[in-house]
Amino acid sequence: MKSLQSIIFLIRLLIFYHTTITPILTTSTSTSNSDFSPTAAVPQCIDYSDPLDFGKHIIKPCPNKARLKGSNTNFQNDLSSGNSSNMFVLQFTCGETNTTLCKKAKSAFEAAGKIITAAFIFKAPIVIDANFLDLNDPRLLGAASPTRLMPIVSEDSVPRMYPQALVKQFQYSVHPDYSPTDILAKFNSGADFWFQGDGPIGPQQSNFHTVILHELFHGLGFSSSYRDYFDLLLGQPSEGITAFPMLDSNSTNPTFNDPLKFSGFIETIFDKFIMILPDKSDPSGTKPLPISYFTNQLNQFGPLNTIFPNINVLTSQIMGSPQWKSVAQYLIKKATVANTFVFVPRGGTLANATYLETNLKVYSSGSSISHVSLAKYTNTNDFLMRYSLESGVTIEDLIIKGGNYSGGAIGPRLRAIMNSIG
């Protein structure tokens, strides 16, 4: 069992899926400028403060607001609304004294914004809080995440978590209060990055342009909720993965003995399109099933809104439940079997599905599932969202190896995925 500090960390990690989070919007591909009925409870949003540490977050009320007439920004700080060539508004902070290096990093962010803007239709600008500073570990490259997640009811009537950057594109006339920024980005000035104009790339250098383009898509919602959340409780592998567990401790300084309310598991919008395929270990006749089927099975544990006397009782009961064996343990095994998780785009079929990363022999939180298959899409036009990007190779080299796709680094599968979730 982990230390008390780890338990507190986990509770803080999970508490943002508080039972008072209320589904407030309904989306569909054909709906824009739609109204929604404000709920009685003030919507509770989840604000991240560090893309490298999902444990750093707060629950924050985001009261319903009316969109200003003729406004696409909805920002409290009246930021620039972007332009037709770049709908990404950059707030760039550089912690380096080397102004040349700072300028290179800033230019790369601006170029990434233009690339994404050219590939998709944006109705509202997206604000990036970008930080370039020494992280004191040259192995770390950086990361990006949504600044805020919002609960929305998808068109299949299932509540899911959406990143603010996507919610803004729906152009609701009434919406939850927006955070001033949409994406958090933090990249390591101490890493051995290569930038445009540096000359030939070195064999050990990472292409900054490829890395930030990849991470910005995570900030836009390319991420599954399914992870090994219960590992922190055990201090060892839990041998199971679940969607986000919604836990609530009323204590500001939770201890082993504080009661916890369990209110179920919730997906991200990315999960809506994931299908689980049978493999040779499954019984004959097993059919492909949406991951939402398994989330629904997980939510049979409970009953929901049960208050457990302490975290040890909760952990013991949930990991001893039939749902843990039939879902959590089943899916972590599937997540290490090649070609078992696929993303089926909106309106598509298994024939045009994209294989997600399940080739790692040991499940790796953050790498497994929330990336495309390295084995399937290396040297293809959908190279960008693999969990591992080659050193010593420029983004132009990768495009050429992928067949010189007319859309550049944003391949057809990535386009279909982003159009599906947004």
Q: What is the pLDDT of residue 79?
A: 43
Kindly state whether residue 71 falls inside one of the protein's structural domains: yes
Amino acid at 115: I
Kindly state whether residue 199 falls inside one of the protein's structural domains: yes
Quote the CA–CA distance of 296 and 304 in Å, as a whole number. Answer: 12
Kindly state whether residue 343 falls inside one of the protein's structural domains: no
Q: What is the pLDDT of residue 57?
A: 65
Please count the structural domains in the chain. Answer: 1
Instruction: Name 215's Cβ contacts closer than 8 Å, sequence gap at least 6.
Output: 51, 142, 143, 144, 185, 187
Cβ atoms within 10 Å of 404's Cβ, excluding its own: 10
Token reading at 342:
């696929």
Instruction: Name 265's Cβ contacts closer than 8 Å, sequence gap at least 6.
Output: 242, 243, 244, 245, 246, 295, 298, 299
Kindly state whether residue 238 falls inside one of the protein's structural domains: no
Q: 124 lies in which domain range?
A: 4-225
Q: Is residue 161 a contact partner of residue 225, using CB atoms and an 8 Å limit? A: yes
Kindly state whether residue 248 falls inside one of the protein's structural domains: no
CA 154-159-161 angle, 5° bins: 90
The β-bridge partners of 289 are 276
Distance of alpha carbon 305 from the chain centroid: 26
Cβ burial 238-271 (10 Å sphere, 16+ → b, else e) = bbbbbbbbbbbbeeeebeeebbbbbbbbbbbbbb
Residues across the chain: 422
The β-bridge partners of 44 are 61
Q: Is residue 312 a contact partner of residue 306, using CB atoms and an 8 Å limit? A: no
Q: Is residue 22 a contact partner of residue 44, using CB atoms and an 8 Å limit? A: yes
Collapsed DSSP state (helix, strand, coil) of residue 184: strand
Instruction: Name 389's Cβ contacts closer than 8 Å, sequence gap at least 6.
Output: 206, 207, 210, 211, 214, 383
Kindly state whether residue 54 falls inside one of the protein's structural domains: yes
Kindly state whether residue 402 falls inside one of the protein's structural domains: no
Q: What is the pLDDT of residue 48?
A: 82
pLDDT 10s digit of each residue in the chain, 422 long? 444 444 433 444 433 333 222 333 344 433 433 444 333 367 667 788 888 876 676 666 778 888 765 555 444 333 445 678 999 999 999 999 999 999 999 999 999 999 999 999 999 999 999 999 999 999 999 999 999 988 888 889 998 989 999 999 998 888 888 999 999 999 999 999 999 999 999 999 999 999 999 999 999 999 999 999 888 767 778 899 999 887 777 666 667 688 888 888 989 999 999 999 999 999 999 999 999 999 999 999 988 888 999 888 988 899 999 999 999 999 999 999 999 999 999 999 999 999 999 999 999 988 999 999 999 999 999 999 999 999 999 999 999 999 999 999 999 999 999 999 98
Kindly state whether residue 415 falls inside one of the protein's structural domains: no
What is the DSSP annotation of 310-338? Answer: SHHHHHHHHHTSHHIIIIIIHHHHHTTST
Q: What is the pLDDT of residue 84?
A: 85
